[in-house]
Amino acid sequence: MAAKPSDKWIPERGEIIYVNHSPHAGKEMKGMHPLLVSSSQAFNERTGIVIGFPMTHAASNADNPFAVAVRGPKDEVGYVLAFQPKSFDWEQRDAMQHPWGGGHINVLQAALEKLDAICGICNC
């Protein structure tokens, strides 16, 4: 007999999720915040880890050259902080779906390009 597919939610690449960023130190974000997922769903499922970029609504990021603006469904603006990539145990940190959902591949691409400009990841 074939196994039933699981109804368990697993974060997908390009999806915005909520994840608890605490504990934190210094200028790192704390508490429950959105995160733009950059790791694949297969990676997230197999490892229990999600890799992504934290997000904020802080308007001070409007002129931050390392932040990517993204508009939500109610025309609110959020900022993807491409200079603070993070990895989290998404299950232990109470990750959950965010109302902005998935499909943010163009925003993710822009964030990855900014990270590459900082770290030179693709120019090894």
What pLDDT, on the 0 to 100 scale, is given for residue 3?
Answer: 43
DSSP state of 102: S
Q: Which residues of the chain have pLDDT under 70?
A: 1-6, 123-124
Break the chain into its structural domains and give their ranges.
16-20+30-123
What pLDDT, on the 0 to 100 scale, is given for residue 121?
Answer: 79
One of 3.40.50.10490, 2.30.30.110, 1.20.1440.230, 2.30.290.10 is the CATH number of 16-20+30-123, namely: 2.30.30.110
What pLDDT, on the 0 to 100 scale, is given for residue 45?
Answer: 97
3-state DSSP percent of the chain in helix, strand and coil, to 5: 25, 30, 50
What pLDDT, on the 0 to 100 scale, is given for residue 2?
Answer: 46
Residue 70 CA: distances (Å) to CA of 24, 28, 44, 80: 24, 20, 23, 7
